[in-house]
Structure 1
Amino acid sequence: MSGPKVVRIVTPAERKLIKKRWLTRLKNKIEHVKAYAIKHNMFTEELQDALDETLEYYQNISEDDYRKIEREVSGQIEFLDKEKKNLVKKVVKIRTSKWESFKNLKSTHNELRFLLKNKSIDFQDFDTPSNINEIEEYREKVDYLYSLLKEASFNSQTLTNEQKAIQERLSSGDSLLSVQKWRSNRPKVISRLKKLENALKEMYISEIPQNKIHEFMNRCAELEEEAPNYDLLLDSLTIQVAEFSKNQLALREAKEKLKTAIDQLESLELNLSFIDRWTDLLNSDNLNDVKDALEKAKYLYTEVSEKIIIETRRKAIKKALQNAGYEVNDTMETAWVENGSLVVKKAKNSLYGVEFMSPKNLSRIQARVVADKNRNNERSPNLDKNHEEIWCDEFYDIKTILESQNLSIVVDKAEEAGAVKMKEIALGNDYVKRENQSKKRKNV
């Protein structure tokens, strides 16, 4: 392929960074999955062995095999995300069941309390536990209240209509937030209470601290049912619950990303004392502060890591061009940095030159033969193609020199000579190639 080429140049420093970057992400993802599994009693020896084996395998891969690391580790992270989702599904199922059981218990508790008082039956009342995990102890207490009511109300074999209605209400488990009075507009109230309850249920399933759930429940209980704006107050409380949940989930995600960003910065082995302040934010509840630190950490990592590799890339490319016979002075190098373009040619009066274009970080370089747009009358299609074939030898020389400096050269794209219309630019007399043209003629 003798036409235009797009080349990726990877320095030893960059290969080292690539491995550290991906292994840091993989390690953090493994730790996250492991912590979640342990928290919910789902961590097994089989899972432990699989996670350890995965990390060890990629730790043992050479930095020189960076493309394998880039390709496969990203896939492993996606796989771990899927495994985490499977664990979450199991946890959601368990927590949903526990919530429903707790909801029914509290509904029954509220009704039993109301009915026992209404029938003047003595009983020792108790508060609803703030922690749903205390459900078994709570169940025993509710069962005791039911036994008192049953003993007093259902002591005959034939149930009255009132007794049947009581049993029906007790078994329905209307809402975790059941009101204590059977109001005339009960369906309307229950509809709003259901919305609030569902919002609280999502908080519990999402593992948001239960003290906040209990706090919202208490606020609901404190609302005056007879107030003219009771419905609006319920709606407002539901909105607050939803907003709080959204904030907490965003905070959790931001903290996880910040942890990875901090670890990546630390992998650069720099003495950055202010990182401790960002680490402290992993225990903060301020979403804006965490997100701000995350953006700064990501930006700093990108800037520092690129700075480390750009200079080695630039020096290596400059040396290769000079060894291949091109003159690259400081002025030209500065122009390349600022404009992303460098043009070299054989002699002052040369009809053709070679253009190197790249972004500022030199991550990709496009190299192609260019012609002087002011001298079209001196060119022909065959002459254009011939110069592109000559450029193939030049590229081979440069590639060999770069590889001798332990740089990895990957040709991302290459066109046949003559396949792409030759670019035309105004070639000045600033760039001169010394006469040591290689005699090789090889297609690369």
Structure 2
Amino acid sequence: MSGPKVVRVVTREELVAGGESLLRRLDAALTEWERACSSVGVSPADQKASKDRRNALDQMLRADRFAEFGKAALAEIDFLDADAGHRRERAAQARAQERARLHTGKELARVLLRQIAPDAPERGELQRAAAGELGLKDLDAVLARARQTLFQPATPQLSADQQALAARLAGGEKTEDFEVWRGKQAVSSRGLEALMGHISELELLGQAGRASELQQEVLAAAAIPEDAVREMRFDSLVNSLKRAKEDAVALEKLRRRAAFLGTELARHREGTEVQQTLQAAARGGISELQAAVTAGEQRLAELKATQVADARRRAVLDGLQQLGYQVHEELSTATSAGGQLVVRNPASTGYGVAITAGAGMERLQMRTVAFDANRDSSGDIPAEQRWCDDFGALKGALKAQGSEVIVERAEGVGAFPLKLLSTSTEIESPRGTIAPRQALKK
């Protein structure tokens, strides 16, 4: 048996409320995943699988598997966020490759136009390619035909001298010039593709305007003829694009937090003012929105803490009432900010139980107290033993309701002298008691 003890109470009500809040957060993450994937492509099978996982988690919550649900739901939220990011990156890379190939193809068309004969049948198509009027498939076909015409192998019937003369008459060293250009362009294209990847991600993150501005800077840098200067400019643009992408991702996450916070605050009457402030901040800058979200999350935590404290208070006092305990009105001062109350069982004359509550009713200190300084102290240990038995019954009653009482620390019976409370606090009539739902309130 144990005497004074510190316990933690976890009610089914708070477990259900926390689980439902997490489920709403999962639903918001799933909606965002579907929205993000709609612009990059997602298979019906993947969509069905994600909804099936969500529904399975819902069933887990309904079965009161709270701990298992919490762990699995958080893992699913993380997965959806990461999967959306991976899909966005792959889609951005595909766009970047296409854009880089289009840009390189245009530049190649311009090189070939300078080398092809004025009356060559491919000239018209090359001019369209150089002007950017062709799609990637048509562009590749035009360039393939032009390169085949310009750089076909030497005719076997010609002697070495005749082949050299033909090359000089055709403009001289064209194949060498082209190969040198192509080698340089391959290096430049890799850098261009990486930059285009960042730009494509910005577009997919809803930053089309900023992406367009940076793309113009990238194309201007790609046109710089000096290799060293061009690469330095590319390096500078990489840093600018990374910062822009990081800012876009942070803003997107902040907006999602704000949206979810708004829906959660709407569930509390006391959260209306904060919700309105949040809505106004959403129309402002990122710093204003960040400040509003931080303040809103703090207020939401306070509102939830009050609800949790009320649930714990009701659970404990209802359980005590079922065991025949009465609550003394003058000492029912415990609140979500902490406090103390005294309860007693009329069958235990001269003794009661003091319950001291910490902030949020998260932890309760329970100990047997005496009301009469002139009592026979030999009754102190039996009083503690009776409370120990009643505490076991209280744990069982709360467990039957789906709640849990966890003993974090306990001292032995008789380890400390009983605390003496003023005789003026002892319950003398039914007028000195109040209903459990009124006790422990402000």
Tell me by how many angstroms 1:152 deviates: 4.4
Name the structure 2 match of 1:181.
Answer: none
Report the Cα distance in structure 2 between the residues aligned to 1:40 and 1:149, rounded to whole angstroms.
Answer: 35
Tell me by how many angstroms 1:250 deviates: 0.7
Could you tell me the TM-score, scaled by structure 2's length?
0.66
Q: Cα 1:139–1:318, aligned 2, differ >3 Å: closer, same or farther?
A: same
Name the structure 2 match of 1:7.
Answer: 8
Match for residue 178 of structure 2 among 143, 158, 166: 166
Q: Cα 1:15–1:257, aligned 2, differ >3 Å: closer, same or farther?
A: same
Could you tell me the TM-score, scaled by structure 1's length?
0.66
Q: Cα 1:78–1:57, aligned 2, differ >3 Å: closer, same or farther?
A: closer
| 1:410 equivalenced with 2:409 (yes/no) | no
Contact in 2 for aligned 1:112/1:149 (Cα 8 Å):
no
Q: Cα 1:39–1:386, aligned 2, differ >3 Å: closer, same or farther?
A: farther
Report the Cα distance in structure 2 between the residues aligned to 1:233 and 1:57, rounded to whole angstroms.
Answer: 50
Report the Cα distance in structure 2 between the residues aligned to 1:261 and 1:85, rounded to whole angstroms.
Answer: 21
Does the residue aligned with 2:42 lie in a helix, a strand or coil? coil
Does the residue aligned with 1:175 lie in a helix, a strand or coil? helix
Does the residue aligned with 1:22 lie in a helix, a strand or coil? helix
Tell me by how many angstroms 1:392 deviates: 1.1
Query: Equivalent pairs: percent with the same residue?
Result: 15
Report the Cα distance in structure 2 between the residues aligned to 1:422 and 1:431, rounded to whole angstroms.
Answer: 26
User: Could you report, residue by residue, the CA deviation over 1:257-304 in whole angstroms, capped at 9, with x for unpaired residues?
Assistant: 22322222334477837746746877x694324323332332332233
Name the structure 2 match of 1:184.
Answer: none
Contact in 1 for aligned 2:265/2:271 (Cα 8 Å):
no
Contact in 2 for aligned 1:216/1:241 (Cα 8 Å):
yes
Report the Cα distance in structure 1 between the residues aligned to 2:94 and 2:368, rounded to whole angstroms.
Answer: 69
Name the structure 1 match of 2:246.
Answer: 246
| 1:392 equivalenced with 2:426 (yes/no) | no
Name the structure 2 match of 1:175.
Answer: 188
Q: Cα 1:45–1:111, aligned 2, differ >3 Å: closer, same or farther?
A: closer
Structure 2 unmatched runs, 5+: 156-162, 371-375, 430-442
Match for residue 82 of structure 1 among 68, 75, 79: 79
| 1:109 equivalenced with 2:106 (yes/no) | yes
Amino acid at match of 1:395: F
Name the structure 2 match of 1:299.
Answer: 298
Report the Cα distance in structure 2 between the residues aligned to 1:205 and 1:339, rounded to whole angstroms.
Answer: 50
Contact in 2 for aligned 1:310/1:361 (Cα 8 Å):
yes
Q: How does 1:41-190 map to 2 (within 5 A)?
A: 41-45=41-45, 47-48=47-48, 51-52=51-52, 54-55=54-55, 58=58, 62=62, 67-69=64-66, 71-79=68-76, 81-82=78-79, 85-86=82-83, 88-89=85-86, 92-93=89-90, 95-117=92-114, 123-124=127-128, 126=130, 137-141=135-139, 143-145=141-143, 147-148=145-146, 150-152=148-150, 154=152, 156-157=154-155, 162-167=174-179, 169-170=181-182, 173-176=186-189
User: Could you report, residue by residue, the CA deviation over 1:202-229 in whole angstroms, capped at 9, with x for unpaired residues?
Assistant: 4435734455434213124446959999
Name the structure 2 match of 1:356.
Answer: 355
Name the structure 1 match of 2:433.
Answer: none
Report the Cα distance in structure 1 between the residues aligned to 2:426 and 2:396, rounded to whole angstroms.
Answer: 19
Amino acid at match of 1:254: L
Q: Cα 1:272–1:111, aligned 2, differ >3 Å: closer, same or farther?
A: same
Which segments of structure 1 move beyond 6 Å, counting only runs of 4 or more?
A: 226-232, 343-347, 350-353, 400-403, 423-426
Q: Cα 1:89–1:423, aligned 2, differ >3 Å: closer, same or farther?
A: farther
Name the structure 2 match of 1:310.
Answer: 309
Q: Cα 1:434–1:42, aligned 2, differ >3 Å: closer, same or farther?
A: same
Tell me by how many angstroms 1:49 deviates: 6.2
Amino acid at match of 2:412: G
Name the structure 2 match of 1:266.
Answer: 266
Q: Cα 1:321–1:94, aligned 2, differ >3 Å: closer, same or farther?
A: closer
Does the residue aligned with 1:41 lie in a helix, a strand or coil? coil
Tell me by how many angstroms 1:247 deviates: 0.2
Does the residue aligned with 2:360 lie in a helix, a strand or coil? coil
Q: Cα 1:38–1:83, aligned 2, differ >3 Å: closer, same or farther?
A: same
Name the structure 2 match of 1:201.
Answer: 197
Tell me by how many angstroms 1:85 deviates: 3.6
Does the residue aligned with 1:42 lie in a helix, a strand or coil? coil
Amino acid at match of 1:392: C
Report the Cα distance in structure 2 between the residues aligned to 1:161 and 1:353, rounded to whole angstroms.
Answer: 107
Amino acid at match of 1:361: G
Aligned residue pair count: 396
Contact in 2 for aligned 1:20/1:267 (Cα 8 Å):
no
Contact in 1 for aligned 2:332/2:340 (Cα 8 Å):
no
Tell me by how many angstroms 1:361 deviates: 1.6
Report the Cα distance in structure 1 between the residues aligned to 2:275 and 2:336, rounded to whole angstroms.
Answer: 31
Tell me by how many angstroms 1:84 deviates: 5.5
Amino acid at match of 1:151: T
Report the Cα distance in structure 1 between the residues aligned to 2:153 and 2:318, rounded to whole angstroms.
Answer: 101
Amino acid at match of 1:33: W
Tell me by how many angstroms 1:370 deviates: 8.0
Q: Cα 1:174–1:101, aligned 2, differ >3 Å: closer, same or farther?
A: farther
Tell me by how many angstroms 1:163 deviates: 0.5
Contact in 1 for aligned 2:96/2:193 (Cα 8 Å):
no
Amino acid at match of 1:174: V
Higher relative contact order (CA 8 A, sep 6+): 1
Tell me by how many angstroms 1:166 deviates: 1.4
Tell me by how many angstroms 1:72 deviates: 1.0
Contact in 2 for aligned 1:40/1:91 (Cα 8 Å):
yes
Report the Cα distance in structure 1 between the residues aligned to 2:141 and 2:210, rounded to whole angstroms.
Answer: 27
Q: Cα 1:54–1:295, aligned 2, differ >3 Å: closer, same or farther?
A: same
User: Could you report, residue by residue, the CA deviation over 1:126-146 in whole angstroms, capped at 9, with x for unpaired residues?
Assistant: 5559xxxxxx81342354256
Structure 1 unmatched runs, 5+: 130-135, 178-193, 372-377, 437-444
Contact in 2 for aligned 1:199/1:242 (Cα 8 Å):
no
| 1:24 equivalenced with 2:21 (yes/no) | no
Report the Cα distance in structure 2 between the residues aligned to 1:276 and 1:221, rounded to whole angstroms.
Answer: 44
Report the Cα distance in structure 2 between the residues aligned to 1:426 and 1:311, rounded to whole angstroms.
Answer: 27
